[in-house]
């Protein structure tokens, strides 16, 4: 059996969680392979809306195992809040959620360091969510991190050494803080964490493959936020592309099967950083309002623009995408004209390649296509698609060289067309 991967191709918020939920019935295991509670996956079904931050999006399907992989950074306090909210709504988790021993812990002082470092940057802020993600990954790489498995190996000593080290770092920023309440919430989260099955994730995943289980690896954020290949330095702190699934779960490259690349029919971005197709006019506002483009974790309004095929071709290439998933097609229902960026003019020269620095003077080259001006939100099959929408799909498939296998027409899991 193979590990199929589902990930975002833009700057995050593409709608990956919904598609994981839709695809989960075909798998035995759903495994999150990177990121932290800065990633909000919104799911809607049966009249309810759920926001997941650290828990994989397959959690609502009965009889499926969900794994928080070693590539994830986990905040026990926020994890406890998430679990409590789901259990209050009638979803039991302890029998279906496993946690890798090698997943790193976000300490309460990581959140303080995140706030202190972001504040010190002034106008050069990256736009972090303030959840301590960057400092936790920094400690991981510098070999100073604490992992879930450390809970059972001299944990108090390791925790105190780490906290004292962070306090010294905070003193350099002259940052005022009160750690007591944060620690109280964090240790309450640790007790909640211990209620779950804690596993050697890499052994569990590989043994499951050998016994014939199908596994879906779930990514967070988007490919344009990858720490190596995204719009650096305005990126997240982990590898969000398909190669990250191997590192984040402990599987070899030859086990990877299908790669589902999820993108919106237009483009959005949260926080700072370059955005070549951004619209700051009424069209951008209309996209934001129709698409309800506000961060599920932060509530921040998302920047909106037309689809960027230069960036999409780049992320399709990096990920080895085999199937495309187009989200929020219904948001474009009212437009009489749809625009798509097919190339850039950079310093007077046209290119279809993504430049090293997206902050350069970039002018998008546009193609205009007729809109369909039809409400598609209640359609049940692709036979009902307007001709203009079919033409848009064909145009995108020709540009990207990969078939669009799934089309989403709204937030509910039922508003999904498998082609």
166 among known catalytic residues: no
- Phi and psi at 322, nearest 5°, equal -105, -25
Could you write out the DSSP letters of every residue in 355-394?
A: PS-TTS-EEEEEEEEE------TT--SGGG--HHHHHHHH
Which one of 4, 13, 75, 226 is the catalytic residue? 13
Alpha helical stretches, state H, 106-154: 108-120, 133-141
> How far apart, in whole angstroms, are the C-alpha atoms of residue 320 and residue 246?
14
Indicate the angle between helix axes 309-319 and 387-400, nearest 10 degrees.
60
Neighbour tally for 213: CB within 10 Å: 15
SS3 100: strand
Which one of 41, 104, 110, 166 is the catalytic residue? 41
For the chain, what is the total number of helices (H) and then of strands (E)?
Answer: 11, 20
Contacts of 196 (CB under 8 A, 6+ apart): 93, 94, 97, 98, 99
> How far apart, in whole angstroms, are the C-alpha atoms of residue 255 and residue 239?
18
Is 214 within 8 Å of 207 (Cβ atoms)?
Answer: no
75 among known catalytic residues: no
> How far apart, in whole angstroms, are the C-alpha atoms of residue 192 and residue 150?
15
> How far apart, in whole angstroms, are the C-alpha atoms of residue 252 and residue 323?
21
> How far apart, in whole angstroms, are the C-alpha atoms of residue 165 and residue 184?
19
The backbone region for 154, taken as left when phi is positive above 0, alpha when psi lies in -120 to 50, beta otherwise, is left
- Phi and psi at 196, nearest 5°, equal -100, 165
Is 7 within 8 Å of 223 (Cβ atoms)?
Answer: yes
User: Would you please indicate which residues are annotated as catalytic (active-site) residues?
Assistant: 13, 41
């Amino acid at each position: 059996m193979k590990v199929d991967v589902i990930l975002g191709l833009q700057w995050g918020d593409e709608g990956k969680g919904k598609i994981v939920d839709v695809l989960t019935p075909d798998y035995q295991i759903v495994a999150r392979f990177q990121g932290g509670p800065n990633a909000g996956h919104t799911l809607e079904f049966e009249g309810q809306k759920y926001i997941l931050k650290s828990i994989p999006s397959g959690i609502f399907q009965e009889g499926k195992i969900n794994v928080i992989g070693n590539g994830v950074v986990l905040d026990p306090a926020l994890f406890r809040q998430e679990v409590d909210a789901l259990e209050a709504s009638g979803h039991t988790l302890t029998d279906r959620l496993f946690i890798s021993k090698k997943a790193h812990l976000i300490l309460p002082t990581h959140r303080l360091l995140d706030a202190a470092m972001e504040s010190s940057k002034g106008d050069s802020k990256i736009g972090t969510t303030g959840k301590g993600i960057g400092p936790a990954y920094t400690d991981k790489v510098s070999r100073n991190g604490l992992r879930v498995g450390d809970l059972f190996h001299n944990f108090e000593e390791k925790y105190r050494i780490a906290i004292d080290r962070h306090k010294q770092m905070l003193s350099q920023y002259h940052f005022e803080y009160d750690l007591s309440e944060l620690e109280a919430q964090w240790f309450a989260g640790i007790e909640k964490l211990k209620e779950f099955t804690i596993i050697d994730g890499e052994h569990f995943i590989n043994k499951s493959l050998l016994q014939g289980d199908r596994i879906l690896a779930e990514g967070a954020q988007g490919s344009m936020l990858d720490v190596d290949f995204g719009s650096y330095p305005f990126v997240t702190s982990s590898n969000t592309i398909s190669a990250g699934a191997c590192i984040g779960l402990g599987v070899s490259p030859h086990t990877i099967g299908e790669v589902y690349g999820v993108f919106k029919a237009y483009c959005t971005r949260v926080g700072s950083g370059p955005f070549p197709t951004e619209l700051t006019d009424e069209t951008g506002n209309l996209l934001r309002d129709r698409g309800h483009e506000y961060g599920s974790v932060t509530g921040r309004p998302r920047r909106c623009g037309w689809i960027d095929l230069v960036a999409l071709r780049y992320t399709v290439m990096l990920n080895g995408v085999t199937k495309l998933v187009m989200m929020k097609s219904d948001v474009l229902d009212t437009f009489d004209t749809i625009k798509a960026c097919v190339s850039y003019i950079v310093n007077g020269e046209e290119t279809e390649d993504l430049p090293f620095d997206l902050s350069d003077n970039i002018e998008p080259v546009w193609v205009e296509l007729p809109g369909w001006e039809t409400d598609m939100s209640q359609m049940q099959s692709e036979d009902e698609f307007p001709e203009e929408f079919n033409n848009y799909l064909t145009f995108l498939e020709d540009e990207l060289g990969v078939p669009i296998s799934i089309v989403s027409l709204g937030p509910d899991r039922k508003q999904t067309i498998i082609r």
